Amino acid sequence: MSIAFDQAYYRRFYLDPETRIYDEAHHGRIVTAVVSLVEWFGGELRDVLDVGAGVGRWGQWLKANRPAVEYVSTELDPEVCKQYGHQRRNIAEWRGRRRFDLVVCQGVLPYLPSAQASQALENLAAMSRGFFFFEAITKHDLEEVCDTSKTDVRVHARSGAFYRKRIGKHFREIGAGLFYRRDGDLSFFELEAQP
């Protein structure tokens, strides 16, 4: 499966009001919720790595609402990287030495074959010193939840268990797509996070 993550892709799924999944305001609510949870749990938020950053909505929100937070973003397409200021990286192959307070991977891994998705999760875990926000369409989502007229269905439709098993090696699930490192310093009440 070869998909071009270029200007046409982002125009279709992120920018065009007729064909996008959700708009900038909705995405802003996602970022607000994640950042608020990180802060509520007592996490420091000095830096964020956004893998597969697309049109850069995490960066836009952080610049407007948390300007002291350093934002590092990656994408695949050279023109998209140039336009939005992303580093060109393939998360299935790249593992930086630096660790971040929050690593974001939203809608990226369903495009990768299973072996690459597994390696990407290992790379993402290695670059996290604390929180991980993860979003991936699953087989169940495609069958029961997604508006397929606006969702890119050219993905590897895997179970949620596939992702949870791999993420669970490194992180505890907090909920709503947010996870925290098993070896992290923060403590959680029993009903706040999965064991």
- How high is the pLDDT of residue 154? 83
The residue assigned the tokens 């590897």 is 156
Lowest mean pLDDT among 18-32, 92-106, 181-195: 18-32
Tokens of 51: 């893998």
Inform me whether the pLDDT recorded for 117 exceeds 70. Answer: yes
- How high is the pLDDT of residue 1? 56
How many Å apart are CA 142 and CA 122, to the nearest integer?
Answer: 25
SS3 content of the chain, % helix, strand, coil (to 5): 35, 20, 45
Across all residues in the chain, what is the average pLDDT?
93
- How high is the pLDDT of residue 113? 96
**Which domains occur in the chain, in start order?**
29-181 (3.40.50.150)
By C-alpha distance, which of 143, 117, 108, 94 is closest to 5? 108
- How high is the pLDDT of residue 29? 96
By C-alpha distance, which of 162, 35, 150 is closest to 109? 162
* pLDDT above 70: percentage of residues in the chain: 96
5 to each of 8, 48, 66, 77, 133, how far by Cα in Å?
Answer: 8, 22, 28, 6, 21
Inform me whether the pLDDT recorded for 99 exceeds 60. Answer: yes
